[in-house]
Amino acid sequence: MIRYALTRLALLLLGLVVASVLIFLTLRVLPGDVAQQIAGTNSTPQQVAAIREQLGLDVPLPVQYAEWIGGLLRGDLGTSLVTGTPVAAELAAKAQITVPLGLMSMVVAVVIALPFGIIAALRRGRADGTVLSFGAQAIAAVPVVWAGMMLVVVFAVWLDLLPAQGFPREGWRDPGRAFSALILPAVTIGVVEGAMLMRFVRSATLAAMGQDFVRTAAAKGLTRRAALLRHGLPTVGLSIISVLGLQVAGIVVGAVVIEQLFTLPGIGRMLVADVGLRDLPKVQGELLALTAVVLVVGFVVDLVHRGLDPRQREAS
């Protein structure tokens, strides 16, 4: 187990290094620069050149990369060229919205996916099971933006129960308002992600039902449902943990769209704005941090999976 963990950790670090190079290089392919953005459309070339020099944008690329990595090793994610604030501080501030949003979306997704996925599996071949499966497929195909709009129209405009957009100015100092500002966005992401997850739960449950130990349990006199719940579900749970790990990436992507739609000043919205401004030092810090989160979640999921699943332990 320890050897496995170390190998896995080495892979994680390698992944981060590769990601840093890729992020750095791909961002440099983007046309345009932050000096031109700051100067705007009524600027003179001299003005742009002066700003470029002021921001130190004339440094060669390898030097820029080395400076960035050097900073990272000292725990410094860099500084925004536009606002002059440290990237780490900005990330921490925006994470106070995006992390709770992600967690809430995940809860919504699981709450939808688990029961309905299992029911759909148990009811396979019957009308209600088919309706559930098709429903999930249809919802999974709904664009997040449209889903969000509909929820806003119903819960904010018609019923006036929840805010239509924005996050309270005082942040989490008023937890009730902050929480209610995240409900619609989280439900929007959660429903769509949940529908996708439900299809997975359904097929995992079906697979578990076909496994020998469930069939054995059933043969010993348990009902099919009881055999599944008692013996099959733990294996379903394990595979769901893996899928949830993968869904972190999906939720990050969902957050980018949803934060735009609901004007939530989270990491997704910051990222879009910074790419638009070509504030590359900030964008690369943000992207690397997000990549690290996804990779670390994958790492943890793998370890947990291995720790919990006796079959995998025996194999090593």
Partner 1 sequence: MLRRTAFSAAALVTAGTLLLAGCSGASDPSSSASAGEPNPDASVNIRLVLEPSNLDIRQTAGISLDQTLIDNVYQGLVARTAAGEIVDALASEHEVSADGLTYTFTLREGVVFHDGQPLTPQDVVASLTTRKATPEWADSERLANVASVTAEGQTITLTLSQPDSTLLWNLTGRAGIILKEGDAVDYNTAANGTGPFRVANWRQGASLTLERNDEYWGDTAQVADVTFDFIPDNQAAINAALAGEVDVLVGFDANMTDQVEGGGEFTVETGSATDKSVLAMNSTTGPLADVRVREAIRTAIDHDAIVEAVGAGQTLYGPIPEADPGYEDLSDVVTYDPEAARALLGEAGVEELSLTLTIPSAYSTTLSQILVSNLNDVGIDLKVDRVDFGTWLSDVYTNKDYELSVVNHAEPRDFENWADPDYYFTYDNPEVQSLFAQSLTATDDEAAAELLRQAARIVSEDHPADWLYNWASVVAVATNVTGMPVDNVNARINLAEIAKSDG
Q: Using an 8 Å Cβ cutoff, are 116 and 198 in contact? A: yes
Would you give the distance in Å from CA 45 to the centre of its chain?
Answer: 41
Supply the minimum distance, in Å, between the C-beta of residue 54 and partner 1. Answer: 6
Q: Toward partner 1, which CB reaches closer, 46 or 316?
A: 46
Q: Toward partner 1, which CB reaches closer, 7 or 83?
A: 83
Q: Where are the alpha helices (DSSP H) in the chain?
A: 2-29, 34-39, 45-55, 61-73, 87-122, 127-140, 144-151, 175-209, 212-219, 224-227, 233-261, 267-277, 280-308, 310-315
Give the separation between CA 203 and CA 183, rounded to whole angstroms.
Answer: 29
Q: Toward partner 1, which CB reaches closer, 51 or 132?
A: 51
Q: Toward partner 1, which CB reaches closer, 91 or 218?
A: 91
Q: Using an 8 Å Cβ cutoff, are 131 and 198 in contact? A: no
Supply the minimum distance, in Å, between the C-beta of residue 273 and partner 1. Answer: 6
Q: Where are the alpha helices (DSSP H) in 59-86?
A: 61-73
Give the separation between CA 110 and CA 107, rounded to whole angstroms.
Answer: 5
Q: Footprint of partner 1 on this chain (CB under 8 A)?
A: 30-33, 36-48, 50-51, 54, 82-85, 90, 94, 149-150, 152-153, 156-158, 160, 163-167, 169, 259-266, 269-270, 273, 275-279
Supply the minimum distance, in Å, between the C-beta of residue 158 and partner 1. Answer: 5
Supply the minimum distance, in Å, between the C-beta of residue 265 and partner 1. Answer: 4
Supply the minimum distance, in Å, between the C-beta of residue 180 and partner 1. Answer: 12
Supply the minimum distance, in Å, between the C-beta of residue 238 and partner 1. Answer: 38
Supply the minimum distance, in Å, between the C-beta of residue 111 and partner 1. Answer: 26
Q: Toward partner 1, which CB reaches closer, 122 or 184?
A: 184
Give the separation between CA 21 and CA 221, rounded to whole angstroms.
Answer: 58
Q: Toward partner 1, which CB reaches closer, 27 or 249?
A: 27
What phi, psi does 185 have (nearest 5°)? -60, -40
Structure tokens at 86: 């440290």
Helix, strand or coil, per DSSP, at residue 48: helix
Q: Toward partner 1, which CB reaches closer, 14 or 61?
A: 61
Give the separation between CA 164 and CA 184, rounded to whole angstroms.
Answer: 8
